[in-house]
Structure 1
Amino acid sequence: MLDVIKEAIVMLDSDEKIELYGFLRKSLKDDGAIKTYNVVGDFGERKTLDFYSKSPLLPNLQAVGVGTKYVDAINANNERYSIKATTNKRTSVFNGLNDPDSELPQEKKFEYVIIVMLNEDMSLKAMYELNWEGFLLLKKWNTSKRTWYLTVTKELERKAKVLYDAQSDIAI
């Protein structure tokens, strides 16, 4: 059935595809499949919660409410997780952290960050977990936005726990 729908979508013109995209986005939100209209971020969070719940080696995660600062999920021990999904190698920003020239001690905002790499079709490409200390070592400053982000580099791949990598056939 899905293949038939995909074939029909290919035959639509651009305006019809945009209208369909809007319909699907609203339908996904109405069904609770996504929480906001940040589709990549919501898909990443959904894939993360599902992945963790299916792995006996990982803790079950519970989503926190929309608008919770710095954190997207917690585990049974109340450890906090920030989840960043991307379709390229750069994450969205981490707000609320000290500027690089700050002399204030950095308040710990979460225990772990999960980086979810998605293919253009939103299928899972890779998933990495970094602890707070690893995050602090690898974060990069975005001068124009005055905030921090991560880039998935070979160094990050070495320092993070690789939870899933489609190319290497790694899955915890």
Structure 2
Amino acid sequence: MESNGVSLTPEQARAALADTERVRVSAAALSATPWPTWFFITLTLYIAALPITLGGVMADRDWLLPRPAWMAVMLTLVAAYGALFAVAAKAWRDKTGVALRLDVLPKRATVPLAVGLPLLVLGASFAFRATEQPAWLIAASLIGATASVGFHLAFVRLHRRTA
């Protein structure tokens, strides 16, 4: 086998393949690294604010703010989150050369979060609408923030183990 006029032995070829595999594993570990700290804090605050904001939007009557104000808050939160997500992803890509990817994270961690968080937020909002008890929204905010911190710490541990 020749490469650029250089003959490789079978051992050299195997070593090159092993190096390639180490680079692939290292890139996967880097892309599994948790968000920058500032974005983790922003994400946790967003998750904590979402149930309360959605509860205000879904309330039968004006609750604390008029419904159009809740809609403005909701749209602002979503737009700010989207913009900050893009900034965090770009900063990470510029720093490491690897895009942030959720597909390299363990499914046993990401699937419950991807399913449970929307159910928590929507369930609390519907419960608030039915009962008019803000405790549902406060509980969902606290549970969501706790889940965000827990998942962040789990991903930090995962990264340290694979790096």
**Structure possessing the higher relative contact order (Cα contacts under 8 Å, 6 or more residues apart):** 2
Whether TM exceeds 0.5 here: the answer is: no
If you compute each CA radius of gyration, which structure gives the higher value, 1 or 2? 2
1 or 2, which has the higher helix percentage? 2
Q: Give me the TM-score of the superposition, normalised by structure 1.
A: 0.20
